[in-house]
Amino acid sequence: MRSWRTLLARTTATLAAAITVASMGALAAPGAAHADASVVGGTRATLGEFPWMVRLSMGCGGALYSSTLVLTAAHCVSSTGTNTSITATLGVVDLNSTSKITRKSNYVYRAPGYTGSGKDWAFIRLASPVTGVATLPIAKTTAYDTGTFTIAGWGAATEGGAQQRYLLKATVPFVSDTTCNSSSMYNGEIIASNEICAGYTAGGTDTCQGDSGGPMFRRDSANAWVQVGIVSWGDGCARPNKPGVYTQVSYFAATIAAAATTLGG
């Protein structure tokens, strides 16, 4: 069974407890537990370092694709259609900052044919545009689907831990489909055509619960950031031989671009 890296799969009671813990702990004053920890195994991001990072109120991450669209994971949303319940927060690394930008959603578009395995991408359309904030382009070919990637998010810094107040970052290496699907890792569970793995054999650095939908990205040939993955699932967080599994953005690039055009983004 896939372990999605979001709070959505938990019960309402568990979600409420996680939010309470977050508000009392990781989202409390600087110096609280895990305040200087990472996604799992990294460091705190600096203001403006990844301006297109988005925190979504249902407990997921995302990336600003255009002034009105946030690219996230399909498993973070329930269906395609009108939705005014989601709040997107961006423009800050500290979720308690008074300078944060917030926007409500007005529509959700979930990848056509998504059934819980593969095709794990979606758009959140914002009710009003975000101006003055950089967007994150997506990879349109497989040219950047290897090497070392950057991950970031406000998710747990330890498996089963609380959500974070500060944006945390780390780097992870590409893991080939063959290796990721080996018996010592995911034993054939990876959909090689449209999922990509990244992480260390020894574990220790990874995305975690609450990071779902956030981007995995790297520099392109012009030294600009480009999104190559969307945080999707994994077996626990930062376990040995269990790298993170990400939606392979390049595989869906044309479909994502067409959906964005339809949505006015």
Mean pLDDT by 10 residues, the chain (265 residues): 65 33 35 43 94 97 98 97 98 97 98 95 98 97 98 94 94 98 98 97 96 98 98 96 98 98 94
> Catalytic residue among 38, 66, 212, 232, which?
212
Residue 121: predicted pLDDT = 98
Query: 0.75 cut: is pTM over it?
Result: yes
Residue 210: predicted pLDDT = 95
Residue 169: predicted pLDDT = 96
- Is the distance from CB of 41 to CB of 163 less than 8 angstroms? no
Residue 110: predicted pLDDT = 98
Residue 24: predicted pLDDT = 32
Residue 1: predicted pLDDT = 58
Q: Does residue 212 have an active-site annotation? A: yes
Q: Does residue 120 have an active-site annotation? A: yes
28: Cβ contacts below 8 Å, ≥ 6 apart: 165
Nearest to 145 by CA among 240, 231, 42, 216: 216
222: Cβ contacts below 8 Å, ≥ 6 apart: none
Strand partners, 62: 54
Q: Does residue 34 have an active-site annotation? A: no
Q: Which domains does the chain have, with CATH numbers?
A: 12-27+51-135+253-262 (2.40.10.10), 142-251 (2.40.10.10)
> Catalytic residue among 75, 105, 232, 250, which?
75
Q: 194-212 as b/e, with b when 16 or more CB fall inside 10 Å? A: bbbbbbbeebebbbbbbbb
Residue 255: predicted pLDDT = 98
Question: Which three-class secondary structure state does DSSP give residue 15?
Answer: helix
* The pair of three-digit structure tokens given for residue 186, joined into one six-digit string: 């995911």
> Catalytic residue among 34, 105, 120, 211, which?
120
